[in-house]
Amino acid sequence: MTATLAKENVIGRPLDRIDGRRKVAGAAPYPSDFDLPGQVHAALISSTVAAGRITRIDRSRAEAAPGVLTVLTFDNAPTLVDPPQNALGSTMRRPLKDDRILHYGQHIGIVVATTRAQALDAAKLVEIEYAEEEPVLDMDDPRAAVEDNPFGMASSRGDVPGALAASDVTVDETYTIGAEANSPMGLFTTVASWQGDRVVVHDTTQSPSFLRTALAVMFQVPEQNVRVLIPFLGGGFGAGLRLWSHTVLTTLAARVLDRPVKLVLSRPQMFHSVGHRAASRQRIQLGADREGRLTAIDHDAIAANGLGDNLPSPIVAVTPTTYACDNVATHERRAHLNIPYTGFMRAPGAVEAHFALESALDELADRVGVDPVELRLRNYAEVHPESGKPWSSKALRECLEVGAERFGWSGHDPTPRSAHDGDQLIGLGMASATFEFYALPCTVRLVVDRRGNAVVRSAATDIGTGTYTITAQLTAELLGIDVDRVRVEIGDTDQPPAPQSGGSGLAGALAAAVQNAAGELAEQLARLDGRPGESFASLLDRHNLDELAVTGYSDLSGAAEHSDVAPAGAFAAAFAEVGVDEDLGLVRLRRLVSVIDGGRVFNAKTARSQAIGGAVMGIGMALLEEMAYDPNTGRVANGTFGDYLVPVNGDVPDLDITFVGEPDTFNPTGGKGLGEIGIVSIAPAIANAVHHATGRRIRDLPITLDKML
């Protein structure tokens, strides 16, 4: 087999997606495309108040409505068991637990009818009365319960107060970010179908293996009785990482009726039902010497959280490892509010932290009169700042240097308001980014046959990232066969367990598992005494074997402690040019250069798409996106695509994207996660550019007109 490794450089090539043709032809089944024989349709009953208790429910009019099969509310539904915690540390209050209302839009029941229209109509006929309470919607409301992040984000090295007091220069500023919605194109959908005590669930999830466990626990059936299928989904951006109540309610309704039930969320329901990036406020204190060398960093964060929720999503976790600085302290709190569940959203925590930190560094650069790129190089963490170990790979220096070069950074006048283009003030800004290493165990099954084909199976997902394609590329290169001889079967929990697509951890874990499977296969083939240069197909043929199957397992999660190197995540730098209309306050992004170190890139095209997607979301975060709560009802007042603005083509200039760096030395395949890094330095780069253009430092995202005037 080794002698046939002639297909070199399949990995890394900008191959088109192997599932691309199916997608554009409409042949790739998304969850909402599944329709099962005998299927009926569900609609949710959602709370119209944000806080209080349900005092009366009258289902009778709904039950009598045409086509209605059942109406389930807390007082008549079978009791479920509380769900377990997922790998990311979040759990969920089980739906229909009691009469309490914790937020507007809370799912307080489900109606099932023959048609979707009948279900939607009937849902409006359920009469509900509430003992309403005044909701707590603001982190500063004295009634808000504030507690430390339960996952212990307090950390400290050195003597921060002492170093701050002794430093030549300090920065002490507060940065806020509004709540943001993930807004994937695909409306989250569940189709659940029971046969006895076995259930098949098509569900928009980034984490099929966890969903399977959670449903097994909640419905008290063995895990192998639950099958979760999600071959394709229309994006998640983190929204698919938690267990959501609509999935549980649909599965429950299907069980009660003993018929397949389908539920598709509406766009407004998406804003209340599948999490969002929590609003946050961060105070950054920097101490430095006159040359801008950091002597102290103090990072304090508070973020909103649902009532009774425990989502960890730490903001300050990345701070201690970003810069070489002897004195660093972090603290983090959560304010529990009557808001819908928060969730994970691309680079959760890290992107918030970088907005604050990289803005503060720009303020420091200003005060000490050091170029922002040079300031970052002066504080470069050559080794991991906590363990002192060398990084498994780190090309942040190249990110900064290559970015500055491509952008034409050097030599510009750093004075604010020094550049104009017609009636536009022009500004340049930059920021860098560090992302944490993340890995979970992953298993794949690899089967090769005597015709020279291979199949790879795993309960992983492709959420738009390119998992299908890179898995085929890796397998093809390792086996020395053409990519079109590899079939990839994922998105099915009947396959071996895989981590969620999340934390930018799937590609690396899956790649390592595929590599281990190929190694296992090589050993098995060696036992068949292959001839030099002989393909596995001929070897199997000679031994009259139809196929060989092996399992590959990777677990890099615990290996860090025993390693000589500190496992690194991705690094990046972004450079932005904005134009600001002085009279209107309108900020337009004119140019963006993004340079990323993702280690060995598995597919230059899909990796680039990741960087583009991250940049576009970063532009939204910087300039457009914010969920607005109605202060009286707690309703998301702008929960439609007409009102909640995301970047459109006109908001996104040509993006200049470059990958730099070397294969990583910790992951055996050399790859690092890169699905999230592309967003991390965008908002601070834009905010810093706005400051350069106008002299105004906006410390509150998004940077909308009202804040500029």
Q: Secondary structure of 560-585 in the HEC alphabet?
A: HHHCCCECCCCEEEEEEEEEEECCCC
Instruction: Kindly tell me which residue out of 4, 310, 504, 535 binds ligand MCN, with binding defined by CB under 6 A.
Output: 504
| C-alpha to C-alpha distances, 371 to 375, 407, 417, 427, 498, nearest whole angstrom | 6, 15, 17, 14, 45
Closest C-alpha among 595, 598, 639 to residue 615? 595
**Positive or negative, the Cα torsion across 219, 223, 224, 230?**
positive
Q: How many CB atoms lie within 10 A of CB 374?
A: 15
Site string for ligand MCN, 178-197 (x = CB under 6 A): ------x-------------
Question: Looking at beta carbons only, is 320 or 613 nearer to ligand MOS?
Answer: 613
Question: Looking at beta carbons only, is 12 or 530 nearer to ligand MCN?
Answer: 12
Name 554's bridge partners: 442
Peptide bond into 668 cis (omega under 30): no
Question: Looking at beta carbons only, is 344 or 644 nearer to ligand MOS?
Answer: 344
Q: How far is the CB of 609 from ligand MOS (least distance, A)?
A: 15
Identify whether the C-beta of residue 107 lies closer than 8 Å to the C-beta of residue 77. Answer: no
User: Interface with ligand MCN includes 238 (CB under 6 A)?
Assistant: yes
Give Cα 180 distance to the centre of its chain.
13
Q: Which does 235 bind (CB under 5 to 8 A by kind): ligand MOS, ligand MCN, none?
A: ligand MCN
**Positive or negative, the Cα torsion across 58, 63, 65, 70?**
positive
Question: Looking at beta carbons only, is 206 or 285 nearer to ligand MOS?
Answer: 206
Q: How far is the CB of 505 from ligand MOS (least distance, A)?
A: 8
Q: Which does 671 bind (CB under 5 to 8 A by kind): ligand MOS, ligand MCN, none?
A: ligand MCN
User: Interface with ligand MCN includes 312 (CB under 6 A)?
Assistant: no
User: Interface with ligand MCN includes 204 (CB under 6 A)?
Assistant: no
User: Interface with ligand MCN includes 610 (CB under 6 A)?
Assistant: yes
User: Interface with ligand MCN includes 675 (CB under 6 A)?
Assistant: yes
Phi, psi of 44 (to 5 degrees): -90, 145
User: Interface with ligand MCN includes 661 (CB under 6 A)?
Assistant: no
**Contact positions with ligand MCN (CB under 6 A) in 313-352:** 346
As a whole number of angstroms, the distance between CA 4 and CA 534 comes to 7
Contacts with ligand MOS by CB under 6 A lie at 206, 236, 238, 241, 344-346, 348, 502-503, 676
Q: How far is the CB of 461 from ligand MCN (least distance, A)?
A: 8
As a whole number of angstroms, the distance between CA 419 and CA 400 comes to 23
Q: Secondary structure of 670-692 in the HEC alphabet?
A: CECCCCCHHHHCHHHHHHHHHHH
Q: Which does 450 bind (CB under 5 to 8 A by kind): ligand MCN, ligand MOS, none?
A: none
Q: How far is the CB of 574 from ligand MOS (least distance, A)?
A: 19
Q: Which does 686 bind (CB under 5 to 8 A by kind): ligand MOS, ligand MCN, none?
A: none
Q: How far is the CB of 377 from ligand MCN (least distance, A)?
A: 25
Count of residues engaged in binding ligand MCN, rule: CB under 6 A? 36
User: Interface with ligand MCN includes 464 (CB under 6 A)?
Assistant: yes
Instruction: Kindly tell me which residue out of 491, 508, 567, 618 binds ligand MCN, with binding defined by CB under 6 A.
Output: 508
As a whole number of angstroms, the distance between CA 375 and CA 365 comes to 6
**Positive or negative, the Cα torsion across 106, 111, 117, 123?**
negative
Active-site annotation, residues: 676
Q: Which residue bears the tokens 């597919």?
A: 603
Q: Which residues bind ligand MCN (CB under 6 A)?
A: 184, 235-238, 346, 463-467, 470, 501-508, 598-603, 606-607, 610, 613, 671-676
